[in-house]
Amino acid sequence: MLSSQQIAELVKEGKEKSKPRKFTESVEAIITLKDVDPKKTDLNINEIVYMPNPTGKVAKICFIGSGDLALRAKNAKVDLIIDPSQLENYAGNKKEAKKLARSFDFFVADTALMPRIGKILGQYLGPKGKIPIPVPPQASVEAIIQRLRNAVRVRSRGSLGISVRVGTKDLEDKKLAENIEAFIQTVVKKLPAGERNIKSIIIKTTMGKPAKRLVETQ
């Protein structure tokens, strides 16, 4: 596997392959896989990566619930709160349910509402990998929301390449490398043979050429 220094060097190379632009480019990390069948369900990667450094994009979060949890979610400045009584508005309303699923990066919900949410919104949130994160009454919904703000979701989508935005070009190489390491560690845990299933790591900016390193494992 690549060391922290090697990843930082790869980030630097990826930046150097990008010409100056009039806008701040995003930086994307791509993991390519080997010796796996991406069509098999055991490689259905759908994970949340909690980035240690800002990615330049703040996740939009919807909370579903009421009472004290909803009040605490509101104080945590969640983007939208859906009261349980409002759930019925989405039942049979395909257009609004799809719009809701598209509009938010993450959904958080009172644990007690999960069966009802699954019945009404499951067919819209499930395919997007956005089934709500259940929150028990005594849990710190504020901490969950705060952590999700800088998180990203990674999915295999039936291919041998898994990509994610890890930051912007103006972020320090070291911080970008730390985000990339968090991404790699999350994916490795879900692979049948761990890091042995990783073929290469690729870094590229929005409009830049890719910088690539093959991964050698013991």
> Rounded to 5 degrees, what angle do the CA atoms 110, 114, 115 make?
145
Proportion of the chain above pLDDT 70, given as a percent: 98
User: Which band of pLDDT confidence, cut at 50, 70 and 90, is reported for residue 41?
Assistant: low
Backbone dihedral angles phi then psi of residue 24, each to the nearest 5 degrees = -85, 115
pLDDT at 147: 95
pLDDT at 77: 96
**Dist CA 2 CA 56 (whole Å):** 25
**How far apart are the two ends of the chain, measured CA to CA in Å?**
9
In contact, 209 and 35? CB cutoff 8 Å: no
pLDDT at 39: 77
Proportion of the chain above pLDDT 90, given as a percent: 86
**Dist CA 87 CA 102 (whole Å):** 16
Question: Could you tell me how many residues make up the chain?
Answer: 218
**Dist CA 165 CA 135 (whole Å):** 27
At 47-106, the pLDDT tens digits run 999 999 999 999 999 999 999 999 999 999 999 999 999 999 999 899 999 999 999 999
Please say if the pLDDT value at position 218 is more than 90: no
Domain shared by 69 and 132, yes or no: yes
Domain shared by 43 and 74, yes or no: no
- The tally of domains found in the chain comes to 2
pLDDT at 37: 86
Query: What number is the average pLDDT over the span 178-188?
Result: 96
In contact, 90 and 100? CB cutoff 8 Å: yes
Query: What number is the average pLDDT over the span 208-216?
Result: 92
Domain shared by 72 and 121, yes or no: yes
* CATH value at residue 206: 3.30.190.20
Please say if the pLDDT value at position 156 is more than 70: yes
Name the residue among 192, 202, 128 with its Cα closest to residue 161: 202
Domain span holding position 136: 61-149
Q: In the predicted model, what is the mean pLDDT of the chain?
A: 93
Which DSSP category does 216 fall into?
P
pLDDT at 75: 96
pLDDT at 40: 75
**Dist CA 29 CA 42 (whole Å):** 23
Query: What number is the average pLDDT over the span 4-26?
Result: 93
Which DSSP category does 74 fall into?
H
Domain shared by 52 and 97, yes or no: no
* CATH value at residue 127: 3.40.50.790
Please say if the pLDDT value at position 45 is more than 80: yes
Which DSSP category does 179 fall into?
H
